[in-house]
Chains A and B, each alone.
Chain A
Amino acid sequence: MTPARAALAEGWPLLLTSVVIGIPYGVIARQAGLSVIETSAMSVIVFAGAAQFAAVELLRSGAGAPVVALTILLINARHLLMAAALRPFVGGASLVRRLGLAYILTDEAFAMGIGHFRRGHRDLSYYTVFGISLWCCWNAGTLAGAVFGAGVTDPSRFGIDFAITASFAAIVAIGVRHRADAIVALAAALVAAALRLGGASAVAVVAAGALAPLVAFALHDEDRR
Chain B
Amino acid sequence: MTFWIAVVAGGVLTYLTRSIPLAMTLRGTAPAAARRYLDALPIAIIAALAGAGTAVPDGGPTGGAEVGAVIVAVAIGAWRRNLLFAVIAGVVTVAALRALGL
Q: Which residues of A contact B (CB under 8 A)?
A: 10, 13, 34, 38, 41-42, 45-48, 51, 55, 59, 64-66, 68-69, 71-73, 76-88, 90-91, 95, 98-99, 101-103, 105, 107, 110-111, 114, 118, 156, 158-176, 180-181, 184-197, 201, 204-205, 208-210, 212-217
Chain B residue at minimum C-beta to C-beta distance from A53: B59
Q: Which residues of B contact A (CB under 8 A)?
A: 2-3, 5-11, 13-15, 17-24, 26, 33, 36-58, 61, 66, 69-70, 73-78, 81-84, 86-95, 98
Given A34-B3, A51-B14, A65-B9, the answer on whether A213 and B49 have CB atoms closer than 8 Å is no
Q: Which residues of B contact A170 (CB under 8 A)?
A: 73-74, 76-77, 83, 86-87, 90
Are B91 and A162 in contact (CB-based, < 8 A)? yes
Q: Which residues of A contact B23 (CB under 8 A)?
A: 95, 98-99, 102
Q: Which residues of A contact B61 (CB under 8 A)?
A: 197
Chain B residue at minimum C-beta to C-beta distance from A204: B52
Sorted nearest first, the 6 A-B pairs with minimum C-beta distance are A166-B90, A189-B51, A72-B10, A165-B53, A173-B77, A170-B86
Q: Which residues of B contact A105 (CB under 8 A)?
A: 18, 22
Chain A residue at minimum C-beta to C-beta distance from B70: A169
A160 to B69, CA, bound (A): 12
Are B48 and A98 in contact (CB-based, < 8 A)? no
Known: A72-B10, A160-B91, A172-B47. 4 other contacts (CB 8 A): A73-B17, A83-B20, A191-B51, A212-B44
Chain B residue at minimum C-beta to C-beta distance from A205: B48
Q: Which residues of B contact A187 (CB under 8 A)?
A: 44
A210 to B47, CA, bound (A): 12
A82 to B42, CA, bound (A): 7
Given A59-B2, A189-B48, the answer on whether A166 and B91 have CB atoms closer than 8 Å is yes
Given A98-B23, A101-B22, the answer on whether A13 and B69 have CB atoms closer than 8 Å is no
Are B47 and A184 in contact (CB-based, < 8 A)? yes
Chain B residue at minimum C-beta to C-beta distance from A216: B40
Residue picked from A69, A80, A95, A101, most chain B C-beta under 10 Å: A69
Are B7 and A216 in contact (CB-based, < 8 A)? no
A1 to B47, CA, bound (A): 28
A83 to B61, CA, bound (A): 29
